[in-house]
Structure 1
Amino acid sequence: MNPPSQAHALFALSIPDYLNGEADGSIRHEYIDGQVYAMAGGSARHNLIAVNVGSLLDTRLPETCEVFVADMKVRIHRIDDSRFYYPDVMACCREEDKEAYYRESPCLIIEVLSDATERPNRLEIHRFEKFQAYRQLETLQEYLLLNQHYPEATLFRRRNAWQAEIYRKGTFRLESVDVTVSFDVLYRRVRF
């Protein structure tokens, strides 16, 4: 996901107005309970990693699954809070989840960690704010964070009570989509 470029919410907005604005606009925004945050572009490394993992998943998943890279929102809706984020990569395998501009039932979310933001510590945002929100998605089985500054993958699995598994070389398995991931593929063409 590309980071928000402003630490301040621009203004409060209803969900229908937010979705209409996102459909018509060229700048993406995160939506957190009525507050809208502009998004900044990602680095070349960030984009290469996201495309690499998205391409791998797209070629390995069955036709019943969809893989989205960067421009599809995920919606987290609770009684007292609604959020829309743009994960870097998201896999969705539920046929009934077919909104035009967002999904609500991903089984896998992948984020490439970014450091270009004015919001507090990007790693903290991914690991805490978003992680807490994503865990509310009943269908989410795995959450993967990829470092763009050196080869490292931090994988959280629902079945392991969301405990971190850290990988730095070789391969690891994404059980939610039954795909083995190689660091050679993840970091193909990425220069550190």
Structure 2
Amino acid sequence: MIANSSANYLSPEDYLKGEENSPIKHEYIDGNIYAMAGASDAHVTIAGNLFALLRSHVRGTGCRVYMADMKARIESKNTYYYPDVMATCDERDRELDSFKRYPRLIVEVLSEKTEAFDRGDKFADYREIETLTEYVLINQKRQRVDCFRRNSEGLWVLYSYDENSREVHLASVDFTLSMESVYEDVELRPENPASDNQG
């Protein structure tokens, strides 16, 4: 996902202006921009499946679902990310055209290159969003979905689903969907156990 960065500080205003006409997307982290690499067939299919299911589920509720091309703004971190899927139910987001500040749900489809960042620094940044109540990570090599939910005490609790789970529950939007529907048309490519033991 992150391919390269710029050496010079860029203001958020200049970043947003540049993104309007850029042929490739960039994420913005406190003055630096990072070009986003292309995604795999499985990555795009999983994100598309989830977007379609969520879009149908929230229709008529006032919530909106976005896929890939809509930025999430993290004000306290001076950062913009492009989540794979994002849902917002906050009326204030309707006034924002090129990014959203008040998402309730954010989903990232993992890849080997991005998994550590998505689970680490990116999740730490997303936790700064006060309206976010659920952060979902979806594995594209095997059936595994990790849902991190913010509880009433403000702590993030992991709910994990795998190939033995028939359904996945997204509490933030009160939606239960089948694991099969998440991975519909996805050709799973199991990781090589031998390579997992190296380094």
Q: TM-score, normalised by structure 2?
A: 0.88
Gaps of 5+ in 1: none
Matched, 1:108 2:105: yes
Contact preservation (8 Å) 1:11, 1:36: no
**2:125 aligned partner:** 133
Which residue pairs with 1:163 in the alignment? 157
Q: CA deviation at 1:10?
A: 4.7
Alignment of 1:70-85 (within 5 A): 70-78=68-76, 81-85=77-81
What is the CA distance between 1:26 and its match in structure 2?
1.4
Any gaps of 5 or more consecutive residues in structure 2? Answer: 189-199
**4+ residue segments displaced more than 4 Å:** none
Deviation of 1:172 after TM superposition, in Å, equals 2.2
Partner deviation per Cα, 1:37-63 (whole Å, 9 max, x = no partner)? 000110000000000001000000043
Which whole-Å CA distance do the structure 2 matches of 1:9 and 1:71 have between them? 21
* Residue type of the alignment partner of 2:121: E
Report the Cα distance in structure 2 between the residues aligned to 1:50 and 1:165, rounded to whole angstroms: 19
Which of the residues 160, 167, 172 maps onto 2:168? Answer: 172
Which structure is larger by alpha-carbon Rg, 1 or 2?
2
CA distance in 1, matches of 2:67, 2:8: 27
May I ask how many residue pairs the two structures share in their alignment? 182
Alignment of 1:171-190 (within 5 A): 171-190=167-186
Instruction: Determine if contact 1:10/1:37 at 8 Å carries over to the other structure.
Output: no
The answer to which structure has the higher helix fraction is 2
Q: TM-score, normalised by structure 1?
A: 0.91
CA distance in 2, matches of 1:11, 1:146: 34
Supply the AA of the counterpart residue of 1:92.
T
Query: Structure 1 residues 189 and 95, CA, compared in 2 at 3 Å: closer, same or farther?
Result: same
RMSD: 1.2
What secondary structure is seen at the aligned counterpart in 2 of 1:163? strand
Q: For residues 181 and 128 of structure 1, what CA distance do their matches in structure 2 show?
A: 26
- Corresponding residue number in structure 2 for 1:29: 26
Indicate the percent of aligned positions where both proteins have the same amino acid.
Answer: 42
